[in-house]
Structure 1
Amino acid sequence: MKFIKGFSADAKNKYEEASQVVNDAVGSVRTVASFCAEEKVMQLYEKKCEAPVEAGIKEGLISGAGFEVSFALLFFVYAISFYAEAQLAGNGKTTFTKVFRLNSS
């Protein structure tokens, strides 16, 4: 989770840089309009937004892989425990009902 939070803090800073471009353009809208620089401001804003988007994709892939591995390990442990219990029941060391009871004697 700390790894993911580190990604989001970095993306937040990059989005703040992009919003600063917009704030500057809106603050001096007459200057931007007089120089016909609307397209240039839009291109600069889009360029500033590329890095957070790429970081978001990277964060999504990494966090998705982490969740995938954690759930895979969980179900792998379930499978091993059910297999072991089935072997014990098959060899007569326990019964099927004792395997699924919480407090078996």
Structure 2
Amino acid sequence: MSKAGEIVKEVIGNVRTVQAFVGEEKAVKLYRDALINTYKYGRKGGLAKGLGLGAMHCVLFFSWALLVWFTGIIVHKEISNGGESFTTMLKVVIAGL
């Protein structure tokens, strides 16, 4: 985006010269090309960030699901009560962070 910003700044700063030499079309083409390049890089970066954040949340929610499932088994078999199991579950999550 900085390249596109530089082009706009230069054209607006020299608007009389650009208009005198009929450079509007060239300026628009340069600006469009700069924006297209920025858009391509933005899409790749957005995809990478989205996949990374999605994978992280996937692991987080699967961990919670596994913890709740296992805690349910422990309470159901009366190895521990619900309060102690829930406290232990939260301790495991906080320690994992």
Given candidates 30, 35, 49, the residue that maps to 2:16 is 30
TM-score (normalised: structure 1): 0.68
TM-score (normalised: structure 2): 0.73
Between the two proteins, what is the percent identity of the paired residues?
A: 27
For the aligned residue pairs, the C-alpha RMSD in angstroms reads 1.9
Tell me the alpha carbon deviations over residues 18-75 of structure 1, each in whole angstroms, 9 at most, x when there is no partner.
Answer: 2333343344433321222212211111111111122112212211111111111111
Quote the Cα distance in structure 2 between the aligned partners of 1:66 and 1:60: 10
Quote the Cα distance in structure 2 between the aligned partners of 1:48 and 1:77: 44
Quote the Cα distance in structure 2 between the aligned partners of 1:46 and 1:21: 10
Which protein, 1 or 2, shows the higher relative CO under an 8 Å CA cutoff with sep ≥ 6? 1
Matches within 5 A, 1:63-74: 63-74=49-60
Matches within 5 A, 1:1-105: 15-101=1-87
Residue 86 to residue 41, structure 1, CA distance change in 2 (3 Å):
same
CA contact (8 A) 2:75 2:81 kept: yes
Unaligned runs of 5+ residues in structure 1 are 1-14
Quote the Cα distance in structure 2 between the aligned partners of 1:36 and 1:87: 77
Unaligned runs of 5+ residues in structure 2 are 89-97
